[in-house]
Every structure is written in structure tokens, then in C-alpha cells.
Chain A
Amino acid sequence: MRTIALELPTFSKNGMSSGHISFEEFRLENGLRVILHEDHTSAVVCLDIAYHVGSKNEDLSRRGFAHLFEHLLFDGSAHVPRGKFDEYITQAGGHDNAYTTEDKTNYYEVLPAHQLELALWLESDRMLEFAATEIGLATQKQVVKEEKRERYDNTPYGSLSIRMNRLAYTQYPYWWAVIGDMETIDAATLTDVRTFFERFYVPENAVLVLAGDFDREQAGEGIRRYFGSIPNVVPPIVQPPFDDPDLSEERRVIVDSEPVPLPAVFYAYRVPPEGSREHLALDLLTDILSSGESSRLYRKLVYELQIASETASYVDGREMPGLLYLYAIHREPHGAIGELEAALQEAVSEVVLHEVSETELQKAKNKVEARTVASRVTVQGRADQLAHAALFYEDANRVNSLLDEYGSITLEEVRHAAGRYLKTSNRCSVLYLTGESIPE
């Protein structure tokens, strides 16, 4: 069953500007922040709930636990037997999913509009009284370890994020990957599960967004009814302050023991937290570098020199200082890694030394506009962004000011950020060699 459909960008124009999202918000007495985005375009609703907990909140000996916990949260609560959560959602014609980052864990259900209350019941039940079992824990450990094998251990370049985090951070709990390690996943006990739940899965540490086809009054009432009685018992959570020293020189690893088809150079530069003006400037810079076939890296490495089969850059933005990734994969299995790296470095220094043009910046802004609009095509996309803005910026309306903020970034800011952060002494490098590739 394949359809030939393509998911493409759109946004609601009942607002004022490109992609405006209208909403109202309130806070329950127990501290739960609630955002309602009513939109009757399609007969669909999305309940999205973001908890301010990620892998950086884990105990050192339980790396990977936040993500394992995310799996377990689908495994039953006081009134929802093990295995029934997905069954209820699916039976209603909906779908659900979740993801964990270094900084947050996000859950959502998308349902046909008339099934809204089902989502309220399920989400509130597991926030109120989550119920993990030994068998559930054992099974989800297997599933998570299999996920690690599939996506990190058995995929070419799959070890990248694990290696890069380890290089880029020496102290701060960003040094391990969200997926964790086999041993620390195995080490998790039901007591850990209970402690983690009681510490982090509380109303005050969450943002709930309801988006789509519903009546605001009724939905607000429903949320109060289902979530209002959930107690908030713990002292406020303080996120670990960033304490990792700046990089003072390049940190470099050469990997020749993993099966990869083509040699590749991956760079990551330490950059300011998501949401800062410098972050926005660097985000625009990555568009200038690699978004579309007219971008600098693509044109130089893939099109003109024909040395790379693929090249890209992007900011892995985080609540604390994150990473700007930049990479190129060689075109030939026996290709010289030094040649590829030299070409990549040259493209980077051109950006740093020579000036990015006003036209390139405008193009990058147009890209960001189209991409922002594209990410808001579905109620789920809009709900996710509202939750993110409220959770990290205490300002859900940031979804509506973001494009203007991008628009206000000047050429000077982009040039300055490029010069300040894209330097070798602020860089981590992971080079993958094939059996055939010529070392440096």
C-alpha cells in the first residue's frame, strides 16, 4: 500500500503573518501549563505533552535511562493495562509516538476529533499513576538495545553522534548520547523507574498542548477534570548549569574499525544555546552553506569538484551550548580523506574570511520561512512547536515571533558568528576511513 503523496508545506492564514498560530494558555493549580490551539480545518486533534527532562538529567550510571523510560511510559498505568495504550489509540484510528532528546521528552497522540477525551484519559492516567512491571522493563530494555543496534551499531556512520558528544563535552552531561550504553541500559531497575517518575513526571515540569478541531471551552474543562487533581509534590527541578570548559584546540578521532562504504569527514563546532541571536545567525549560516543545490558546500564539493557524494550542515541546537555539524562524504571508496578534508576546510574558510553576501542571507531567510511553514502543516507539527517554545522559553508566542527574529538577523551578525565559532580550535573532528581509503 503506497500512496504517491508528498507532505508539503502550508500554514494557517487566519493569523496575521506567515504561519501565525493562534492559541490561549493557562496554568492549572498544580503547575501544569496548558496551551489550546483551536483550528477546525481538519477533523483531527493532537494532544502533545512535553516534560522538561532528557538525557542530561540522567544519573551517570544510568545513561540512556530517559529514553528507556519514554518506552516504558507506553507500558501501562493505573487504569490502562500493559500493552493497552497503543491499542486504545490505534483502535480509535489515531497514532501516537514520543521522542527523547538531551533536554526534553515529548509525547503525542493524534486522533480523529471525536476521540479527544480518550487522549486526555490516557495521558492523565500515566501522569497520575504510572505502573511499570518487571516484564515490561525487561522487554523494553531489549527493544531499546535493538534500537541501538539498528540505528547506531549496524548503520554506516551510526556511531557518529556517540563519538561526537564524547569529544565535544568532557564534563557536562551532554557527553553521552541519548541512546546510552548497553550496560547502563541493562542496569536500570524498577526502583530507578519509580524514582525518575516521581522526580520528573510531575505537572509543574510539563507543558500540555491541545491542537486541532475542538471547542475551547469544553476542552479546557476536560483538561481541568483529567489533570487538575494530579498532585505536584516535588521541589522545582533545577537543570544542571553548564560547566564544560570551552574547547581550546581541535579534538580529533580517526575511525578505521567500522564498516563504512565511503570515507567521510564530520566536524562539530561548539555553539551557543538554541534561541540566542548567535544561534539564529548560525542556523542561517548552515542554510547558506548547504541548503539546496545552489548552496556553497553543495556547489563546491558535489557539483564543481565532484569530490563528495553528499555534504550537509545543521545546528544541533540544545538548551545549553550545542553543536554545529558540518560534513562531507567522499565519492570514492578509495578516495583520499585528506583531499576531501582540504576541500571542506576551504569552503569553511571562504565563509569565515570572505563575506557572505546579502543575497545569500536573503535566500537563507526565505528558506527558513518556507521550512517553518512546512513544519506547521499538521496539527501535530504546530502542537510540537508550541510545547517546545513554552517549555524552553516560557513563551509559547515565540512560535509567532521567530520568523521576525530570523528576519532581523544582520549580515554583520552572520559574519561575526562565522568568524567566532567556525574555527579549528573550536572544532571536533571525526573521520571515517574505509578499508580502501588512503589515510592522511
Chain B
Amino acid sequence: MNDNASPLDRSMPPKPGPLTKVSFPKFEEGTLSNGLEVWTVQNHEQPIVSLSLYVRAGSSLDPRHREGLAASVADLLTKGTARRSATEIAEAIDFIGGSLNASAGWDALTVNISVLTKYLDVAIDLLSDIIQHSTFPDEEVERMRLQRLAGIRQAKADAGFLADMVFSKLVFAGHPYGQQPIGTEHSILEMKREDILQFARQYLTPSNSFLTAAGDIVPDEFRKLLETATASWSGPAREIVMSYGDASMSAHTQVGLINREGAVQSALRVGHLGIRRNTPDFLALSALNMLLGGYFNSRINLNLREVHGYTYGARSFFDTRMAAGPFAVSTEVRTEVTVRAVEEIVSEISRATQLPVEEDELRMVKDYMIGSFPLQIETPQQVAGRVATIVLYGLERNYWDTYREKLSALTSVELYRVAREYLHPSELTITASGNVQAIEAGMAEFGEVKVFDDEGSLVETPVFI
């Protein structure tokens, strides 16, 4: 705080106080006798514990024509074990006010359970029951099927979902990332209980999984409890070998449109193939993306929202995975400015590859990323999530300890290099879900236009010419 004796000068922002030292909290690793790695983040400030089991098998392992398999397995894990029916599982977790859910990401299937410390025994009991004794009952498979079908239909009414779906299909044609992780109506109808059992048998093993525990626990005691509870969990030691590489870049700009009756807005996605999580250029690209569309003061958001008033918000991201995921700019704009918004986005991507970043702008991004780090590790669960990133993607163990130093060492030269290497303004995939009739002609200025239906199939005879 500035000197109180001197008169207050409101004309300039106050100088920051002395920098608080922030270190990434300590975490421990242990391995159970069945091979399960257990990573613990101890924090007794608050009487609560959250456990996350990561199984290294996500939606990228969905077989062709079985899109949505990993997600279906996740749905069903909490729907019946040899000891408990789905209803009994729900009753057990609801009664203690806890939360239990399982979901599939691209690279891992996760089971999360969170309870007040006084109920830790219930959490361990439920979690170990689920991972060892899930039965995937027929009746529950059918329920899941109906729920997923309804979910897919509902998603198809969402403009953003449609734009994402066609974007993925075009950027990742023939690659697992081009598939729909929630499944398609066809794949969900065709899904057999045997597919689900097979997936769980193959991947849901201790040596293919790891667990993070965060909060009010004592690591030694916790591991002992877990050791006892999962004693009969076993499976072959295995190294999952990724059965797919990176997709390839499209050779030129392509445009995909999806019509939505009565739309007053277009959901826009503009981008191309991006990067792997473990690329050494990840940090430089994070900073580049931050500047381009990663935060409120980014070029794209300021341009589209503040300068032009085209949108409520626009952002860009590298969605990083085991293999190269997408780079995309994502926004919703009103129909009549759709083409102009795409022009602005393309021009911002181009500009990043043509001009080095000014020192001031770079400093702002670095200040933001370095300054916001304490906010991102405020809770033990956030810390555990970052530990999981290290484990899942095989990053260096001290990755987060050196994160702020590495960020502050980034230079404009380096950002310019990665911009030129990883941004491709002439090889974009542009998708828009909205009023096709109104935007089709204008969108043709960017590249060949294809029109898709809400299944992501090409519409042979475009409705509007």
C-alpha cells in the first residue's frame, strides 16, 4: 500500500506491492502393489477430499463405427456393480452430499468423487467397487442408449455443436479426432454390451490408470486404505501404444456450412490442425494464443467485440491432446456480419505471421499468464489437475515449478517463430452454422463451400443456390 501520509494521486495506477512468493504445492507419488500410481496433494485447510481416477483410454480409442464407446463406458461405470444397483450407488453418494461422476475425454476416462473428509471411507468404498466390480447390466445399457440418443438430438439443435462437429470432420478427416466423442445416432443404436465389456476389460486396469487425491488426507494412511480396498483389482501390465499419429494439414482453405432454420446468428469456427500437448513449443504457443484470442484483451476479442460490436465474445485455443489437436477461433456473430467477422479473424491470424509482436503487448500477455498462475492453483483440486497433466502427458516432474520462469523468458522473436511455424492463414478450415442462404455467397470468397446436414453428411444438392 502506498504511503498514507502523502495525498492520494488518482491519476496513475498504483504500483504493485512486493511480489508474493508462490511455489507450486508439493505432491507425492506412491505405487500400490497392483501397479496403480497414486499421486497425492495434501492440504488440510479444508475438510474435503477429492479423488480422480484416470484410465488412459479416452474417446480417441473409439473404434470406427463405435463412436461414443468410451463415453458410454463412462456413463455405465456408476450404473451397477456386483454389490450395488445403479439406484443404490446414487443413493449412497447423494445421502452424504457428495458428487460422483465419470466421463471420457480424448485421452483418458476419468472417475471423480468428492466428499467431506468425514465420508472418505464411503468414497474409497464406492470408487473401488466401481472400478473392480462394474457389471454393465443390460437394462442400464438400454437406458444409457436412450439417454445418449436424446442427448445427441439435443446437441444437434445447438449451433455451436454443429459448427464444432463439421469443423472436426473437416480438419481431422479419417482420423479418430474427426469422430464424435458423444457418438452418433447410428453408432449408439449399434452399440453392443459386448463392445462396452471389451473396452472396460482391455483398458480398465491398475497399470493403465493412475489416481490423484487432493485435500484433507494423510498420504500414507490414504494409500493403505486404498491398497486394502483395491486388493483384488488386477490386469496385465501394459503400455498403451497410440495407434494413430497426427492428422495432416489441409492443402487449402475450405468452408463448411450447416443450415439452421430461423437462425439469427452464425456459430463460427476458424482454424486448422494444431499441436500435441507435449510439444516443446507448447508454452510459446500458449502465449501466442493468449495474445491472439486467449483472453479478454486479446486481439480477436477486442477486434470483434469492442471495436466492431459483432459478438458478445470471441476466443481462440489450441486444444492439445496426445496427438495434435485443433487450433480454432470460436465465436457467435449475427448473421449479417458473418462474412466480415471471418475476414477480421483471418486478418488477425495473418497479421500474427507477418509482424513480430511488440514488446508492450508481449509483456502484457506474460504479466497476465505469470500473474494469474496463483489464481489457477488456489484450490487443492486445481493443483491435482495440474499434477494429472504432468502424469498423463509425460511432462517433466518439475514442469509447474519452472513454469513462471519459462514464461518470463519468452521473447518476441520466439513468438514470431512459432506463429510462422504453426499458424496457417492460407490453409484454414472455416465452418458456420446459421442461415446458409444468407451467408453462402459471401463465404465463397474464402474457399470452396460445402454444405452439410446436422449429421455432418454432405448435402448433395444445396438447398439454396
Binds A, one of B45-53, B198-206, B233-241: B45-53
Quick check: A13 and B46 within 8 Å, CB to CB? Answer: yes
If A139-B309, A146-B311 touch, whether A8 touches B114 (CB-CB below 8 Å) is: yes
Binds B, one of A36-44, A339-347, A386-394: A36-44
Any chain A CB within 8 A of the CB of B146?
yes
Any chain B CB within 8 A of the CB of A171?
no
If A91-B367, A299-B87 touch, whether A291 touches B388 (CB-CB below 8 Å) is: no
- Min CB distance A97 to B, Å, is 9
Which residues of chain B in 8-26 are interfacial with respect to chain A, using CB atoms and an 8 Å cutoff? 8, 10-20, 22
- Min CB distance B432 to A, Å, is 13
Any chain A CB within 8 A of the CB of B375?
yes
Which of A92, A151, A218 meets B367, CB within 8 Å?
A92
- Min CB distance B284 to A, Å, is 12
Any chain A CB within 8 A of the CB of B138?
no
Which residues of chain B in 305-359 are interfacial with respect to chain A, using CB atoms and an 8 Å cutoff? 305-306, 309-312, 317-320, 332-334
- Min CB distance A71 to B, Å, is 10
Which residues of chain A in 328-383 are interfacial with respect to chain B, using CB atoms and an 8 Å cutoff? 329, 331-333, 359, 362-363, 366-371, 373, 377-379
Measured between beta carbons, the chain B residues less than 8 angstroms from A261 are 153-154, 156-157
Measured between beta carbons, the chain B residues less than 8 angstroms from A120 are 14
Per-residue contact bits, chain B 15-58, to A (CB 8 Å; 1 contact, 0 not): 11111101000000000000000000000111110101010000
Closest chain A residue to B305 by CB distance? Answer: A143
Quick check: A93 and B146 within 8 Å, CB to CB? Answer: no
Measured between beta carbons, the chain B residues less than 8 angstroms from A141 are 309
Quick check: A294 and B91 within 8 Å, CB to CB? Answer: yes
Quick check: A226 and B8 within 8 Å, CB to CB? Answer: yes
> How many angstroms between the C-alpha atoms of A128 and B8 in the bound complex?
14
Quick check: B386 and A3 within 8 Å, CB to CB? Answer: yes
Quick check: B371 and A93 within 8 Å, CB to CB? Answer: yes
Any chain A CB within 8 A of the CB of B462?
no
If A117-B17, A291-B94 touch, whether A6 touches B52 (CB-CB below 8 Å) is: yes
Per-residue contact bits, chain A 193-220, to B (CB 8 Å; 1 contact, 0 not): 0000000000000000000010000110
Which of A2, A10, A149 meets B379, CB within 8 Å?
A10
Closest chain A residue to B373 by CB distance? Answer: A93
Which residues of chain A in 23-75 are interfacial with respect to chain B, using CB atoms and an 8 Å cutoff? 41-44
Any chain A CB within 8 A of the CB of B80?
no
Quick check: B371 and A259 within 8 Å, CB to CB? Answer: no
Any chain A CB within 8 A of the CB of B98?
yes
Measured between beta carbons, the chain B residues less than 8 angstroms from A258 are 262
Per-residue contact bits, chain B 95-132, to A (CB 8 Å; 1 contact, 0 not): 11111000001001010101110000000000000000
If A146-B312, A373-B116 touch, whether A117 touches B2 (CB-CB below 8 Å) is: yes
If A4-B108, A306-B143 touch, whether A121 touches B150 (CB-CB below 8 Å) is: no
If A225-B8, A260-B157, A309-B150 touch, whether A43 touches B96 (CB-CB below 8 Å) is: no
Any chain B CB within 8 A of the CB of A88?
yes
- Min CB distance B312 to A, Å, is 4
Which interface class (under 10, 10 to 19, 20 to 34, 35 or more) fits A? 35 or more
Binds B, one of A107-115, A160-168, A267-275, A313-321: A107-115
Quick check: A1 and B10 within 8 Å, CB to CB? Answer: no
Any chain A CB within 8 A of the CB of B378?
yes
If A8-B379, A86-B296, A146-B311 touch, whether A118 touches B13 (CB-CB below 8 Å) is: yes
Quick check: B367 and A114 within 8 Å, CB to CB? Answer: no
If A95-B375, A309-B150 touch, whether A154 touches B264 (CB-CB below 8 Å) is: yes
Quick check: B296 and A90 within 8 Å, CB to CB? Answer: yes
Any chain A CB within 8 A of the CB of B442?
no
Quick check: A154 and B265 within 8 Å, CB to CB? Answer: yes
Closest chain B residue to A2 by CB distance? Answer: B319
If A7-B382, A87-B364, A93-B367 touch, whether A115 touches B17 (CB-CB below 8 Å) is: yes
Quick check: A13 and B379 within 8 Å, CB to CB? Answer: no
Closest chain A residue to B15 by CB distance? Answer: A117
Closest chain A residue to B48 by CB distance? Answer: A10
Quick check: A221 and B309 within 8 Å, CB to CB? Answer: no
> How many angstroms between the C-alpha atoms of A218 and B54 in the bound complex?
45
Closest chain A residue to B106 by CB distance? Answer: A2
Closest chain A residue to B110 by CB distance? Answer: A4
- Min CB distance A302 to B, Å, is 8
Closest chain A residue to B267 by CB distance? Answer: A154
Per-residue contact bits, chain B 378-411, to A (CB 8 Å; 1 contact, 0 not): 1111101110110010000000000000000000
Measured between beta carbons, the chain B residues less than 8 angstroms from A44 are 374-375, 378
> How many angstroms between the C-alpha atoms of A125 and B12 in the bound complex?
11
Quick check: A1 and B320 within 8 Å, CB to CB? Answer: yes
Any chain A CB within 8 A of the CB of B158?
yes
> How many angstroms between the C-alpha atoms of A118 and B16 in the bound complex?
7
If A6-B112, A92-B16, A370-B97 touch, whether A11 touches B319 (CB-CB below 8 Å) is: no
Max chain B CB contacts within 10 Å: which of A90, A120, A306? A90
Which of A79, A219, A329, A379 meets B11, CB within 8 Å?
A79
Quick check: A9 and B375 within 8 Å, CB to CB? Answer: no
Closest chain B residue to A368 by CB distance? Answer: B97
- Min CB distance A393 to B, Å, is 25
Any chain B CB within 8 A of the CB of A284?
no
Measured between beta carbons, the chain B residues less than 8 angstroms from A156 are 154, 157-158
Measured between beta carbons, the chain B residues less than 8 angstroms from A379 are 378
> How many angstroms between the C-alpha atoms of A294 and B332 in the bound complex?
37
Measured between beta carbons, the chain A residues less than 8 angstroms from B260 are 259
> How many angstroms between the C-alpha atoms of A363 and B50 in the bound complex?
20
If A6-B112, A93-B372 touch, whether A150 touches B91 (CB-CB below 8 Å) is: no
Any chain A CB within 8 A of the CB of B93?
yes
Any chain B CB within 8 A of the CB of A183?
no
Quick check: B372 and A94 within 8 Å, CB to CB? Answer: yes
Closest chain B residue to A138 by CB distance? Answer: B309
Quick check: A91 and B153 within 8 Å, CB to CB? Answer: no
Quick check: B289 and A92 within 8 Å, CB to CB? Answer: no
Closest chain B residue to A10 by CB distance? Answer: B46
Any chain B CB within 8 A of the CB of A424?
no
> How many angstroms between the C-alpha atoms of A116 and B15 in the bound complex?
10
Measured between beta carbons, the chain A residues less than 8 angstroms from B150 are 262, 309, 331-332
Per-residue contact bits, chain A 394-406, to B (CB 8 Å; 1 contact, 0 not): 0000000000000
- Min CB distance A320 to B, Å, is 29
- Min CB distance A331 to B, Å, is 5
> How many angstroms between the C-alpha atoms of A295 and B97 in the bound complex?
12
16 new A-B contacts at CB < 8 Å, known A18-B116, A261-B154: A1-B294, A4-B388, A42-B374, A92-B367, A95-B375, A112-B371, A121-B10, A125-B10, A213-B20, A218-B1, A259-B157, A259-B261, A363-B97, A370-B98, A377-B379, A379-B378
8 pairs of residues in contact across A and B, judged by CB atoms under 8 Å: A6-B385, A83-B302, A86-B297, A94-B371, A112-B22, A113-B20, A333-B153, A363-B94
**Which residues from chain A sit less than 8 Å from chain B, CB to CB?**
1-13, 18, 41-44, 78-79, 83, 86-88, 90-95, 110-118, 120-122, 124-125, 128, 138-139, 141-143, 146-147, 149-151, 153-156, 213, 218-219, 221-222, 225-226, 229, 258-262, 291-295, 299, 302-303, 306, 309, 329, 331-333, 359, 362-363, 366-371, 373, 377-379
